[in-house]
């Protein structure tokens, strides 16, 4: 079974369930995980220059023997490459690392200084047909508004921390009103044991015969949110993909919404982007 998809405003179909490769930077670990993910049915993969695994991901895609057109590949431009010319060069390096001639989606990783000029470069790459979807990651409402004010092509997607304890309701509503798709990183709360053992979620999971992780991913799916869970465990990789044959009832959805505590598990991007030491902070974060 393939993942259902959602359309970007330009009509490009994006699978609602993807596979993240953050921290899978050892070749053998990434190969094992991605090979299992492809066998399971994942075709949407999310990487970034700063993850230092674009090359290994590209090798895994080619090794699968599946046609490139069947995959949806995303990468992101890092803060040190922001700026018009730097962004163009960074994009070409990413294509070379992945071993492909176009990218399905390219995102600005953080709203660091230079993101407006970077967006001009992404608009041109999109118009040249080198990337099918352009967007942002870790942008709050204020920076999205500023970007839209100066853009010829509005962002098509924003990838942000989202999980039951940080549901991003306000930002989700804003993006939905402006045709910006919502993609969740850390959709399982970075595997927080407290969340994955929550009594109410365990009750819902038992009633559906699923794991708590599957319940959370299904919650994202029914919100229309694209999720990119990450795992190196073959069993969990398969379990995370097995979320398409059941539906959460409205009472289940309300229970998950009620867990929202506006609680980030990671650093607030707006809090350190403006700090002169933001690069040092981000190196620690990653």
Q: What is the CATH number of the domain that holds 174?
A: 3.20.20.100
Look at residue 284 in the predicted model and tell me its pLDDT. 44
d(CA 34, CA 4) in angstroms, rounded, equals 20
CB 227 within 8 A of CB 184: yes
Look at residue 106 in the predicted model and tell me its pLDDT. 99
Look at residue 286 in the predicted model and tell me its pLDDT. 42
- Provide the residue range defining the domain that includes 140: 5-187+223-246+261-285
Residue-wise pLDDT tens digits, 61-78? 999 999 999 999 999 999
Q: For residue 105, tell me if it sits in a domain.
A: yes
d(CA 271, CA 267) in angstroms, rounded, equals 8
Q: How far apart are the first and last CA of the chain?
A: 33
Q: For residue 212, tell me if it sits in a domain.
A: no
Tokens representing 97 are 């690392």
Look at residue 275 in the predicted model and tell me its pLDDT. 52
d(CA 152, CA 39) in angstroms, rounded, equals 40
> Which one of 22, 42, 51, 102 is the catalytic residue?
51
Look at residue 272 in the predicted model and tell me its pLDDT. 55
Q: For residue 197, tell me if it sits in a domain.
A: no
Q: For residue 210, tell me if it sits in a domain.
A: no
Digitized pLDDT (tens) for each residue of the chain, 286 residues in all = 789 999 999 999 999 999 999 999 889 999 999 999 999 999 999 999 999 999 999 999 999 999 999 999 999 999 999 999 999 999 999 999 999 999 999 999 999 999 999 999 999 999 999 999 999 999 999 999 999 999 999 999 999 999 999 999 999 999 999 999 999 999 999 989 999 999 999 999 999 999 999 999 999 999 999 999 999 999 999 999 999 999 999 999 999 999 999 999 888 887 655 454 555 545 444 4
- Active-site annotation holds for 42: no
Q: For residue 252, tell me if it sits in a domain.
A: no
Q: For residue 279, tell me if it sits in a domain.
A: yes
As for how many domains the chain has, the answer is 1
Q: For residue 25, tell me if it sits in a domain.
A: yes
Look at residue 56 in the predicted model and tell me its pLDDT. 97
Q: What is the DSSP string of 182-211?
A: EEEESTTGGG-HHHHT-HHHHHHHHHHT--
Q: What is the DSSP string of 100-150?
A: -S-EEEEEESS--TTHHHHHHHHHHHHHTTSEEEEEEES--HHHHHHHHHH
Neighbouring CB atoms inside 10 A of 4's CB total: 11
Look at residue 280 in the predicted model and tell me its pLDDT. 53
With vertex at residue 118, the alpha carbon angle to CA 52 and CA 283, rounded to the nearest 5 degrees, is: 35
Q: What is the pTM of this model?
A: 0.94
Q: For residue 193, tell me if it sits in a domain.
A: no
């Amino acid at each position: 079974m393939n993942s259902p998809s959602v359309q970007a405003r330009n009509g490009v179909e994006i699978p609602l369930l993807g596979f993240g490769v953050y921290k899978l930077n050892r070749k053998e670990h990434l190969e094992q995980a991605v090979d299992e993910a492809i066998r399971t049915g994942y075709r949407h993969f999310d990487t970034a220059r700063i993850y230092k695994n674009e090359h290994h991901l590209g090798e895994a895609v080619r090794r699968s023997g599946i046609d490139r057109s069947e995959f949806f590949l995303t990468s992101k431009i890092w803060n040190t490459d922001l700026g018009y010319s730097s962004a163009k060069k960074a994009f070409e390096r990413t294509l070379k690392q992945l071993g492909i001639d176009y990218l399905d989606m390219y995102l600005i990783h953080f709203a660091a200084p230079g993101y407006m000029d970077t967006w001009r470069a992404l608009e041109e790459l999109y118009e040249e047909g080198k990337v099918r979807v352009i967007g942002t990651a870790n942008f709050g409402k204020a920076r999205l508004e500023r970007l839209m004010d100066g853009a010829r092509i509005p962002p098509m997607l924003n990838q942000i921390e989202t999980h039951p304890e940080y549901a991003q309701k306000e930002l989700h509503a804003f993006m939905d009103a402006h045709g910006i798709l919502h993609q969740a990183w850390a959709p399982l709360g970075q595997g927080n044991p407290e969340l994955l053992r929550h009594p109410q979620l365990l009750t819902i999971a038992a009633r559906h015969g699923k794991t708590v992780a599957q319940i959370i991913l299904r919650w994202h799916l029914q919100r229309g949110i694209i999720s990119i869970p990450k795992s190196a465990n073959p069993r969990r990789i398969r379990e995370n993909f097995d979320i398409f044959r059941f539906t959460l009832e409205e009472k289940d959805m309300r229970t998950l919404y009620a867990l929202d505590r506006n609680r980030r598990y990671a650093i607030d991007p707006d809090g350190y982007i403006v700090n002169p030491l933001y690069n040092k902070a981000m190196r620690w974060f990653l």
